[in-house]
């Protein structure tokens, strides 16, 4: 099978993860071009990776003669226009989460993708992690019976920059970060979220409140079939990167995730200790690679994406409902959030 010729638009934190993966580790895809308006970033990338076209304007990348597909890893606030332009150029699209900052823009994006008849996948990499994949298989096989409750925790070891934390840029803690958990709970529970109630605060890093964001949030969920859930997101896990999910079913429970990076315990008079997963590249590195491999395979095989645009829309709708709940201090029905 011929390799998929990929371009990466945006060389920020996630864009660099994808670009270096695509350049060095993907057996079924070739990185042919990258685009970022920051010359210092593209110059450094060009010095480390040879044979890749470098552009400051993503429109020039879309005109690359051999380009098949693009990875959109620009700031969330720009996803809308980049995806619209990429769809108009007839390129298959992998878009980082969240798809956009509003459901209105998301719906326009979905319409553009459908009219262009191109392949579109959303970047929820946890669905490609070995632990989560195994849990989903056991749930579908009935190992724990009907799932009835779920708890999903996402804790970062340090706060992001104020520039990125600004909800106008990233969506903020709930929309940008908890959206991973909202996608997971829908997927693992095989059910939609009916209503939410959220509380959030800047408890450790009060400077986040100057841009309208927070360092901790708790969201309670009620599913359409009556199941219960809780999502916790935090930027104050100073001990390390802590991602956990627990699914309780009628006949058993699944616990997904790990905190210890190296399989080693140190036992001394001072006590028992072990190391901790430092951050997301170490925890989900394989999953990031795997989702791009699957993206390339699905494009060539013309098979449906494992994470489609409607999945991205549904997770965003829950996130926006949770954000509205936080603002209005009341329970919000997810279906009532339409824009």
Same domain, 323 and 174: yes
Q: How many residues does the chain have?
A: 339
Residues 141-174: pLDDT tens digits?
999 999 999 999 999 999 999 999 999 999 999 9
d(CA 239, CA 222): 31
Residues 65-101: pLDDT tens digits?
999 999 999 999 999 999 999 999 999 999 999 999 9
> Encoding tokens for residue 40?
């210092």
Residues 249-283: pLDDT tens digits?
999 999 999 999 999 999 999 999 999 999 998 99
Residues 193-242: pLDDT tens digits?
999 999 999 999 999 999 999 999 999 999 999 999 999 999 999 999 99
Counting the structural domains of the chain, the total is: 2
Same domain, 44 and 17: yes
Domain coverage including residue 173: 129-279+314-336
Confidence band for 2, pLDDT divided at 50, 70 and 90: confident
Mean pLDDT of 293-309: 93
What is the per-residue pLDDT for 1?
58
H helices of 89-210, where? 103-116, 130-140, 162-165, 172, 179-189
Confidence band for 3, pLDDT divided at 50, 70 and 90: confident
What is the per-residue pLDDT for 26?
84
> Encoding tokens for residue 150?
């779920």
Please identify which residue in the block is written with the tokens 């040879």: 50
What is the CA angle 80-82-85, rounded to 5?
A: 110
Mean of per-residue pLDDT scores for the chain: 96
What CATH number should be reported for the domain holding residue 188?
A: 3.30.360.10
Per the DSSP assignment, residues forming a β-bridge with 233 are 154, 217
Its pTM stands at 0.95
Same domain, 265 and 254: yes
Same domain, 137 and 97: no
Mean pLDDT of 122-145: 98
Please identify which residue in the block is written with the tokens 């009916």: 194
Same domain, 254 and 182: yes
What CATH number should be reported for the domain holding residue 86?
A: 3.40.50.720
Same domain, 137 and 217: yes
């Amino acid at each position: 099978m011929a390799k998929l010729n990929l371009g990466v638009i945006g060389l920020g934190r996630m864009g660099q993860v994808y670009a270096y993966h695509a350049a060095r580790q993907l057996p079924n895809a070739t990185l042919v071009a990258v685009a970022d308006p920051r010359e210092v970033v593209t110059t450094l990338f060009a010095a480390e990776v040879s044979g890749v076209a470098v552009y400051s304007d993503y429109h020039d990348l879309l005109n690359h003669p051999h380009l098949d597909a693009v990875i959109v890893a620009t700031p969330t606030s720009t996803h809308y226009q980049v995806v619209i332009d990429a769809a108009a150029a007839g390129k298959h699209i992998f878009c980082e989460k969240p798809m956009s900052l509003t459901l209105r823009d998301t719906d326009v994006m979905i319409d553009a993708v459908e009219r262009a008849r191109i392949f579109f996948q959303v970047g929820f990499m946890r669905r490609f992690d070995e632990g989560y994949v195994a849990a989903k298989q056991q749930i579908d096989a009935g190992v724990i019976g009907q799932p009835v409750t779920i708890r999903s925790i996402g804790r970062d070891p340090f706060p992001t920059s104020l520039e990125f934390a600004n909800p106008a840029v990233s969506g903020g803690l709930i929309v940008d970060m908890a959206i991973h958990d909202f996608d997971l709970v829908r997927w693992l529970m095989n059910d939609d979220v009916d209503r939410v109630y959220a509380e959030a605060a800047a408890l450790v890093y009060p400077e986040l409140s100057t841009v309208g964001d927070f360092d901790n949030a708790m969201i309670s969920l009620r599913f359409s079939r009556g199941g219960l859930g809780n999502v916790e997101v935090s930027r104050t896990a100073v001990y390390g990167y802590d991602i956990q999910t627990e699914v309780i079913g009628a006949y058993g429970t699944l616990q997904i995730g790990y905190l210890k990076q190296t399989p080693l315990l140190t036992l001394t008079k001072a006590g028992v200790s072990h190391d901790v997963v430092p951050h997301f590249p170490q925890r989900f590195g394989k999953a990031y690679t795997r989702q791009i491999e699957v993206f390339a395979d699905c494009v060539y095989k013309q098979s449906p994406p494992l994470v489609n645009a409607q999945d991205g829309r549904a997770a965003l709708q829950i996130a926006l409902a949770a954000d509205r709940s936080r603002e209005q201090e009341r329970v919000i029905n997810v279906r009532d959030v339409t824009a």
